């Protein structure tokens, strides 16, 4: 019933070590792909979006969507569902989702000096174009992951593991022997306390997901079925939020009691915002009138609609190559690539993005052309913010319906 977790730096003989470890122990391998697949099934979030949680780069829209935090909540739930099987080797980023309080887990870290890693990368059949760059990017992702989960920006910190193995100094067979020999200790025999810790972990994961589904982001800890919710961001009506959170969590099966508290960051400037899933939160505003678009962004935020901003067509297309909004509000007359061309390219490459034209220079011919190209709506400046807000919500309704139909 014991579990081994393996977290590694890239190009540290990890594949060979894990393969031999599986052969020696007979344990089942659980990798990030399996965890992501289950998390996607549980959440309805596309696997490629969940996988983004493993990268250091965060979406421009994440402050409004909390997609990374939501993805982690479902990844945690996936691990919580798999963990009770026991006799597992959990490898990759998912290994850090297993709480330290579960004692029958042997936590392994594989590392090596940079020169050794570069040499191994250069001899790999999957040759990297720029091995040092790929390795540094991988290290950045791992540091961001441990910072997010454990508030520790050193992913190789020995305090996070039971054994740290320098694979450039210890051969594969010896590394595997070291792990297997330590697996035999009495400490790794499941106890009543460690099995109870798994039950608490499962409940914590279910509570976290339940709160996420309701648009809330708070810390969750569980001890013997007693849940403590920690509110880290400032909120004007604290007692009302606490009551709402308690009502939601008390309905989760297995919860014996619910208490709330404020965290150490509560009095900082960040304001607590509940996610409104009926309002679009991945909105890209594209307009060369800087003052107008910045004011519009602020006014939308007051309506719980988060947005990113681009001031020309070229910048907008570059942003679209890295991050996909749900809704785009697009001006027609801009320097360089104009709005009509942006609309044409978006609909050719990313047709599921709903584009609302908002312009002060168009005419009926432009309107007809935009609608033929696939624009969701065509609005004239100046626009009533309530009309724009209602149009965006209708566009979001179309997006949600399309997602539901795909899931059916």
Determine the pLDDT at residue 237: 84
Separation between Cα atoms, residue 242 and residue 130, nearest integer Å: 50
Domain housing 252: 214-262
Six token digits for residue 241: 């939020």
Are 263 and 239 contacting, i.e. CB atoms less than 8 angstroms apart?
no
Residue 278 lies in a domain: no
312 domain-assigned: yes
Does the residue 196 lie in any domain?
A: no
Do 18 and 133 have their domain in common? yes
The β-bridge relationship of strands 219-223 and 226-231 is antiparallel
- Count structural domains, the chain: 3
Domain CATH for 8: 3.40.50.300
Q: What pLDDT was estimated at residue 290?
A: 92
Question: 345 and 235 share a domain?
Answer: no
In tens, the pLDDT along 394-405 reads 999 998 888 777
d(CA 379, CA 357): 6
Q: Which residue's structure tokens are 């007359």?
A: 333
Q: For the chain, what is the total number of helices (H) and then of strands (E)? A: 15, 13
Q: Is residue 31 situated within a structural domain? A: yes
Read off φ and ψ for residue 274, nearest 5 degrees: -75, 140
294 with 401, same domain: the answer is yes
The whole-angstrom distance between residue 329's C-alpha and the CA centroid of its chain comes to: 25
Let me know whether 247 and 293 are in one domain: no
pTM above 0.95, yes or no: no
Query: 102 and 159 in one domain?
Result: yes
CA 375 to chain centroid, in Å, comes to 30
Mind listing the pLDDT tens digit for each residue in 297-350?
A: 988 888 878 889 999 999 999 999 888 899 999 999 999 999 999 999 999 999
Query: Is residue 201 a part of any domain in this protein?
Result: no
Examine the domain organization and report whether 150 and 230 are in the same domain.
no
Nearest to 376 by CA among 326, 322, 337, 313: 326
Same domain (yes/no): 136, 175: yes
Same domain, 228 and 322: no
Q: Same domain, yes or no, for 258 and 291? A: no
Radius of gyration of the chain (CA): 25
Note the pLDDT of residue 408: 41
Cis peptide before 16 (omega within 30 of 0): no
Segment 170-195, tens digit of pLDDT: 999 999 999 999 998 888 888 999 99
Neighbours of 324 (CB within 10 A): 16
Question: Within 10 A of 243 (CB to CB), how many other CB atoms are there?
Answer: 12
Summarize pLDDT for 108-153 with one digit per residue, the tens: 999 999 999 999 998 877 666 788 999 999 999 999 999 999 999 9
- Examine the domain organization and report whether 238 and 330 are in the same domain: no
| Inside any domain, residue 126 | yes
Q: Are residues 79 and 11 in the same domain?
A: yes
Cα 307 from Cα 287, distance rounded (Å): 13
In whole angstroms, give the CA distance from residue 355 to residue 280: 12
The answer as to whether 252 is a domain residue is yes
In-domain check, residue 195: no
Q: How far apart are CA 111 and CA 8, in angstroms?
A: 6
């Amino acid at each position: 019933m014991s579990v081994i977790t393996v977290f590694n730096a890239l190009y540290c003989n990890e594949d060979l070590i894990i393969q031999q470890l599986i052969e020696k122990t007979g344990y089942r391998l659980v990798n990030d792909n399996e965890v992501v697949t289950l998390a996607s099934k549980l959440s309805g979030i596309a696997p490629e979006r969940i996988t983004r949680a493993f990268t250091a780069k965060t979406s421009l829209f994440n402050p409004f969507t909390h997609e990374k935090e939501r993805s982690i909540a479902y990844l945690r739930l996936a691990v919580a569902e798999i963990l009770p099987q026991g006799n597992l080797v959990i490898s990759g980023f998912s290994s850090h989702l297993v709480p330290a309080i579960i004692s029958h887990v042997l936590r392994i870290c594989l590392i090596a000096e940079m020169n050794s890693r570069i040499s191994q990368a250069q001899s790999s059949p999957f040759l990297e174009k720029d091995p040092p760059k790929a390795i540094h990017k991988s290290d950045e992702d791992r540091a961001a992951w441990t910072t997010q989960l454990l508030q520790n920006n050193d992913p190789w910190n020995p305090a996070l593991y039971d054994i740290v193995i320098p694979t450039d100094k210890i051969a594969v067979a010896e590394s595997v022997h070291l792990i297997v020999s330590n697996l035999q200790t009495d400490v790794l025999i499941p106890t009543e306390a460690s099995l109870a810790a798994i039950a608490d972990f499962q409940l914590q994961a279910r509570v976290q997901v339940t709160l996420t589904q309701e648009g809330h982001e708070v810390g969750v800890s569980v001890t013997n079925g007693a849940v403590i919710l920690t509110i880290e961001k400032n909120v004007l009506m604290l007692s009302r939020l606490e009551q709402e959170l308690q009502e939601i969590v008390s309905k989760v099966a297995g919860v014996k009691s619910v208490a709330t508290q404020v965290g150490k960051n509560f009095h900082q400037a960040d304001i607590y915002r509940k996610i409104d899933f009926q309002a679009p939160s991945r909105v890209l505003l594209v307009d060369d009138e800087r003052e107008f678009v910045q004011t519009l962004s602020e006014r939308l935020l007051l309506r719980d609609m988060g947005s990113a901003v681009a001031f020309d067509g070229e910048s907008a297309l570059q942003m679209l190559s890295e991050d996909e909004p749900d809704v785009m509000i697009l001006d027609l007359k801009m320097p360089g690539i104009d709005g009509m061309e942006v609309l044409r390219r978006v609909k050719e490459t990313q047709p599921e993005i709903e584009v609302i034209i908002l312009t002060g220079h168009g005419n009926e011919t432009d309107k007809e052309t935009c609608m033929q190209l696939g624009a969701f709506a065509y609005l004239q400046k100046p626009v009533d913010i309530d009309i724009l807000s209602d149009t965006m919500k209708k566009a979001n309704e179309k997006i949600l319906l399309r997602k539901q139909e795909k899931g059916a």
